[in-house]
Amino acid sequence: MTVIVGLVHRGRVHLAGDSAGSSGSQLTIRRDPKVFTNGPYALGFTTSFRMGQLLHHAFEAPHPKGDLARFMTTGFINAVRTCLKDGGWARKDSEQEQAGVFLVGVHGRLFEIHGDYQVGEPVEGYAAVGSGDDLALGALHATARLGLKPRERLTAALRAADHHSTYVSAPYTYVKTPR
């Protein structure tokens, strides 16, 4: 369905995403972005446009406080869970809540949020999620030491996924965390 890529560069998180909306073999180029800012966060989603719309327009992003890793796994995730439940999107399977997958950048750190609400932080300083994630990760790895600007690396990753995946398509959208 998509690819969202992110990287940390000089204390800011840069995210980019494609514009494909897919269902089976049908592909639609969407106007609504998969990457955006909300408060101090840069977010980029896959899984469901409805989840992304809720994170973009309904999510009341809490201000980070204290230890950031601890905050992300508690305060931030609790606010996301509430938003998705209130928006009618959260699912329950065998009494376990399920959500979607998205990237979050805040205070110069990049986090991956997975469907079971686990929070991961890649040590490489870059990440990709979505159906084109492996292709994009390869491009991010290959460009790590080339001295490219963040947008150039993100574009290379998106283009690699776009070229090799039927579920990824331009145009691309870019955001970065506020200063």
Given a cut of 90, whether residue 121 has pLDDT beyond it is yes
Helix (H) or strand (E) holding 73: none
Domains of the chain: 4-176 (3.60.20.10)
Q: Is 129 within 8 Å of 4 (Cβ atoms)?
A: yes
Q: Give the model's confidence band at 93: pLDDT under 50 very low, under 70 low, under 90 confident, else very high.
A: confident
- Quote the distance between the C-alpha of residue 128 and its chain's center: 7
Distances in whole angstroms, Cα of residue 127 to Cα of each of 44, 95, 112, 163: 11, 30, 8, 19
DSSP 8-state code for residue 10: T
3-44 residue pLDDT tens: 999 999 999 999 999 999 988 788 899 999 999 999 999 999
65-90 residue pLDDT tens: 999 999 999 999 999 999 999 999 98
Residue 43: per-residue pLDDT = 98
Tokens at 175, concatenated? 């955001």
Given a cut of 80, whether residue 1 has pLDDT beyond it is no
